[in-house]
A = this chain, B = another copy of it.
Amino acid sequence: MLLARMFNALDRLRAPRPVSAHCDLPCGVYDPAQARVEAESIKAIMEKFNASDDPYFRDRATLIKEQRAEECNHHLDVLWYQYFQPAHLEKYPQLHELFWSTKKLTSQAKRANDVAIADQLLAKINEIADIFWETKKA
C-alpha cells in the first residue's frame, strides 16, 4: 500500500504539475504559485530592508515591495473572481472571508516591514492553494 502510494507520489513528481495562469478569456489556466512567488519576494524584500541601514537601498526596497504586493493582490484577485464558481463557494463557504483577509494582508505588507505579516500572507496563500488543488482533483 505504502509502496503503491509512494510510486504514485513519484509519478506526480515526474509529471509536470498542471500549471495555471489567467486572463479572463478564460484560458482555463490558473496557478496559486503566481501569488505565492510574489509573497516570497515580499518576505525577502522585508528581510533585506530590515538588514540594511542604507536609505537609498531602503527606498528601492519600498517601491519594489509595493509593486510585488500589487502583483500578489492581482493574482489572488484572478483566482477569487475568475476561477472560483458558485459550486466551489457552496463546498468552501469560507472562501470569501479567506480571500478578503489574504488581500488585506497584501495591504499590510505594503505598509510595514514586519516579516510576520509576510509569513501570515504565505500561510493564507497556502490555504487557498490547498482548496484550489482539491477543486482540481474533484
Which residues of chain A have a CB within 8 Å of any CB of chain B? 6-7, 9-10, 12-13, 16, 19-29, 31, 33-34, 36-38, 40-41, 44-45, 48, 55-56, 58-64, 66-68, 73, 77, 80-82, 96-97, 100, 103-104, 106-107, 110-113, 126
Report the bound CA distance from A41 to B75 in whole Å: 14
22 A-B pairs within 8 Å (CB atoms) are namely: A6-B7, A6-B10, A9-B13, A16-B126, A19-B33, A21-B68, A23-B41, A23-B64, A23-B68, A24-B110, A25-B48, A27-B44, A27-B45, A28-B44, A29-B41, A55-B58, A56-B112, A59-B62, A73-B77, A80-B100, A81-B104, A96-B97
Q: A23-B68, A24-B64 are known contacts; what are 7 more A-B pairs with Cβ within 8 Å? A: A6-B7, A19-B33, A21-B41, A34-B37, A59-B62, A60-B66, A73-B81
Chain A contact residues: helix, strand, loop or mixed:
helix
Instruction: Report chain B residues within 8 Å CB of A36.
Output: 16, 19
